[in-house]
Each structure stands twice: as C-alpha cells, then as structure tokens.
Amino acid sequence: MPETFQNAATRTIQIKDARLVYRELGERGGVPVVFLHHLTAVLDDWDPTLLDGIAKRHHVIIFDNRGVGASGGQTPASVAEMAADAIAFIEALGFAKVDLFGFSLGGFVAQEVAQLRPNLVRKIVLAGTGPAGGAGISDVGAVLQGAFQKAGAEHKHPKHFLFFSPSAQSQKAGDAFLQRLNQRQADRDTAVSDQTVQAQITAITKWGQAANPRETLKQIRHPVLVANGDEDIMVPTANSVALFEALPNAKLSIFPDAGHGGIFQYADAFVDQTLHFLAE
C-alpha cells in the first residue's frame, strides 16, 4: 500500500552538515517529483489534496530544507544556498533525474536548481512564484506584516489574506484548505524557528532585488508549467506571466478569483493539469 499524506513516515537523511527530514508518497519508480516548500512551511503545510492527487501516478517526495522544521542545520539566507542544499538532498537519495515542484520560495529554488544542474531535472512546476528581480517580490516583509495585522483584527488565519482573494468563494476555499492541513494528526513536523523565517525573508528580499534575468531564464529549457491565482499579493501574478513569456518551453495556468494559493483553491483542476503536464 503506497503511503499517503496522512500516513507517510517521516524519514531522515544526512546532507553535508545537516540531517534533513522528508516523507515519500505514492509508488516508488519512475522520475520522482520533489516538492520545494514556501516561506515558513514545513512538511505538514502541503495541501493533501494536491500531494495525494499527484502521488496517484508519481513517486512524490517532500522535505524540509536545511534548518527548516525538524531538519538540522541553519537555514541559509540566499536562494542559491537553498538550491545547493536541495541538490545535495536529491543526490543523497540517489536520484539521477527528478521533476521539481516549487511553490513560492520553492519556485525560486527550483529555478536555481534547474540552472545549476540542468541534467538533474526533467520537468518543473512553478506555482505562485516569479523570476529574480520580479515586480513586488521584495515587498514580502510589508505584505506579511499587513496580513498578520488583518488576521489579528478579524480573528482569521493570516493565510486567508496571504493565499486567498477577498471574495466569499476564495475565503471559503481558504477555510477548506486550512482544514485539509489539519487532517494529519500523528507525527507532525516541528514549526519553523525565528532564525529560519528571518533567513527566508532575507533570501526572498534579495531574490526580489536581484537583476532581472530574462537571458538567464532562456537557459532553462525544461518543460515548465507556470501556475498561479490571478490576484497573488505575495508574488504578484504578473511574475507568473513574466516567467511564462521568458521561459522557452512553458505553459501557463491562471485561476480566476484566487490568490497566491490558487493551486490549493483549485486543487482538483490543478492536479489534472499537473498530471497531464507530467505525462505528456
């Protein structure tokens, strides 16, 4: 019986100076899909609908990068170092070729891995993310602060404001998403430390302030599926369009009336799209 999001065992593996935690879903075999996480996220923060949907046809691997959640070491303050750690993790598991699924910060890391080790990567999903130097990305600190203030005032989870649009439909999808994140009760991961959050925010801010790399993006020749909601305030949606336009072999999926977490709001539709993309 293949493991699911609900019951996947938490495993560990040593990379360089740190022991990373990870979980595996779905049947082993074929090119695995390695998921790269967002700011503050640990193993339990992936949407079970999305992961189990993809794991129905693919070997899925989620992990906490260095310093994150229950993983050891100090979280580095640059996307390039996070990418080097991700490569070390993939190689430690013995994989010669993987698909990458990067969400938000994880999408920055995925772009970097694809450039550093093009032959290690087959296909890439870039969700709720953008290119280095992309518009509005370096405002992450202010956006977070605004969302936490609203969340406090309205007694809601900050993800209601960060991941979903203000409409009734999107807010309802936000409730459902947050409930799904609580489905797994046993063997939950450790929350991120302040050091990790600070280092991740620094890494994101630097990524947003970097030179705009249209030429660099052209070097990512892998098939890429770019996806987002149409009202992302964390990595503004224009960045998904910019990725689609600059990457030589990209597809674009934009969901209406949805924010940064559009792929969670439309999890079923997005699973279909992702399975098609990975299969073709």
User: What residues make contact with a copy of itself under the rule CB under 8 A?
Assistant: 167-169, 225, 227, 230-231, 237-238, 241, 244-245, 251-257, 269, 273, 276-277, 280
C-beta of 194 vs 280, nearer to a copy of itself: 280
Shortest Cβ 259–a copy of itself spacing (Å): 12
- 76 vs 223 by CB, closer to a copy of itself: 223
Q: How far is the CB of 202 from a copy of itself (least distance, A)?
A: 30
Q: How far is the CB of 140 from a copy of itself (least distance, A)?
A: 22
Q: Which is nearer to a copy of itself, 76 or 262 (CB)?
A: 262
Tell me the three-class secondary structure of the chain, residue by residue: CCCCCCCCCCEEEEECCEEEEEEEECCCCCCCEEEECCCCCCHHHCCHHHHHHHHCCCCEEEECCCCCCCCCCCCCCCHHHHHHHHHHHHHHCCCCCEEEEEECHHHHHHHHHHHHCHHHEEEEEEECCCCCCCCCHHHHHHHHHHHHHHHHHHCCCCHHHHCCCCCHHHHHHHHHHHHHHCCCCCCCCCCCCHHHHHHHHHHHHHHHHCCCCHHHHHCCCCCEEEEEECCCCCCCCHHHHHHHHHCCCEEEEEECCCCCCHHHHCHHHHHHHHHHHHHC
Minimum Å distance from CB 164 to a copy of itself?
14
Q: Which is nearer to a copy of itself, 143 or 226 (CB)?
A: 226
